[in-house]
Amino acid sequence: MITTLVVAVAGVLCLALQGALATFLPRLVVPDVAPLFAIALALQIGGARGLLGAAIVGMAADTLSGAPLGHLTLLNVVCYLGARAANASLELRSRVAQAALAAIWTPLAAGLTLFLAWWGGETARASLRLLQLVAAQTAVAAATAPLVGALVETLVGLTRIDEMGRRGAPVGAPRRSG
């Protein structure tokens, strides 16, 4: 649980950094950090703890961005589940695979956002400006995903004490017969 909390706090701090960068840089070059954390959590932690971390980062993104409460949390959880499902059949922990997952997820998230807006009764339509934003965000997400993955991998490695069993042996270690 310590690992999940440490990674979730790092995600929230990166969201604050994202907000600070957005005041100085154009929106086209500022990455959306929350789904990148969801991908990294799916590949590095997995299970309910990873899902909890993705939901915490999504809720923080909802709160900090002013989006409708639950919107970014839903997107983060769907991103986590998609990355987890893809990782179940393929080994996707490499940096290139993380970049590919981020590049696949970004246009899917834009489509899901348009669908949710339509479902909520808003008039949502794709425009050339939106397509340009999605294309730029896809490139930025693919370039940034390996960095976020390395950060999460480092934090998970530093907090491995959370993975210790009751008897002091790592979970999944071979058992002695006797």
What range does the domain containing 11 cover?
2-163
Please give the full DSSP string across 116-172, using - where no structure is assigned: HHHHTT------HHHHHHHHHHHHHHHHHHHHHHHHHHHHHHHTGGGGB-TTSSBTT
Residue 29 placed within a domain:
yes
Residue 46 placed within a domain:
yes
Residue 52 placed within a domain:
yes
Domain count, the chain: 1
Can you tell me whether residue 170 is helix, strand or coil?
Answer: strand
pLDDT, tens digit (0-9, with 9 covering 90-100), for 11-42 = 899 999 998 998 999 888 888 899 999 999 99
The pTM score is 0.81
pLDDT, tens digit (0-9, with 9 covering 90-100), for 39-94 = 999 988 878 888 999 999 999 998 888 777 888 899 899 999 999 988 887 777 78
Residue 176 placed within a domain:
no
Residue 108 placed within a domain:
yes
